[in-house]
Each structure stands twice: as structure tokens, then as C-alpha cells.
Amino acid sequence: MDGRKALEDMKGIIEKALESYESLYDKATLSNIRYFLKGFMDEHRTMEAAVSSLLKGKHFEFPDLPNRPKLDAVGHISLTEDTQVGSLQSVLLFICRKEEEISNEFDKVVTNMKGSSDLNKLKQWQEQIFRKAEHLYTDLIEAPSK
């Protein structure tokens, strides 16, 4: 696989994720749930713009990413039912699973490419988005109440 094909694959993965988020966003009526969905949609729109720039041969200045530790916060929870758009827990779990799925797909694309720093930066960026989702879920849903 060449670098251009890998970037096109990543763009397709991002577009598919955006469709999922937009569909859920359109169904959600609670402002706090829409807020979380919009935040992740915006992050992926920025990433999609980065991939588009790279496909056009333009330079893209990658953002400085916080180094969030990996939590594995939702690995033990199964997502077997439809996402309940009125439930913050259900939506955050959906976001975590979606971000994990995107990270895994990016990993497959990058694994087939050797030495592409832009692809690795995109993969790391996506990994940090996934970790952000895990931290949100843990902080808001699983954190012990005092």
C-alpha cells in the first residue's frame, strides 16, 4: 500500500465515523449529549481536513497532543443494544467504542506502511481522541460518587 492509498483509507474511516456521529447528533435532543457528540465530530472534521491537506501535498501542522494514559475503561462493557440518545452513559459508551474502532482501523492502515511520519502522527492523534473518550466515560460515569 502506498502513502496516498493509506491516507485515502484513513479519510474514508473518518468520513464513516462522522456519519455515525451526525446520525446520533440529529437524534439527540439533550444539549449535554449533543455537546459531547459535537466535540468528537469537530475533532474528526479537523482530522479530515488534515488528511485532505496531506492528500493535496500540503503541509499540515499537527496539534500538540496531551499524553493521556490508556485506561481500558470500557473493554469490559458490551455494546449490544442501540445507543439510547437520551442517556449520557449510553452515548459516551458509543463514543468510546467508535473511537476504539477508528483507532484499530488506523492501526491496520499504519501497520502496512513503514516509515511514514504523517501516518504515525494521525494514528497517535486518533489514539489520543480514543483516550479522551475513555477518560470522559471514566470521570463522568464510573467515577465514585462522594
pLDDT, tens only, 28-43: 999 999 999 999 999 9
Residue 69 has pLDDT above 90, yes or no: no
* Span 103-143, pLDDT tens digits: 999 999 988 777 678 899 999 999 999 999 988 888 888 76
Distance spanning both ends of the chain, measured CA to CA: 52
Question: What cell numbers appear for 98 in the block?
Answer: 467508535
- Average per-residue pLDDT for the chain: 86
Looking at the predicted structure, is the pLDDT value of residue 78 above 80?
no
In the chain, domain spans: 3-142
Give CA separation, 48 vs 109, 133, 140, 145, in Å: 16, 18, 28, 38
pTM attached to this predicted model = 0.85
Evaluate whether the domain defined by 3-142 bears CATH number 1.20.1260.
yes
d(CA 66, CA 132) in angstroms, rounded, equals 9
pLDDT band at 61 (very low <50, low <70, confident <90, very high): confident
Q: Per DSSP, which regions of the chain are E strands?
A: none
Where residue 73 falls among pLDDT bands split at 50, 70, 90? Answer: low
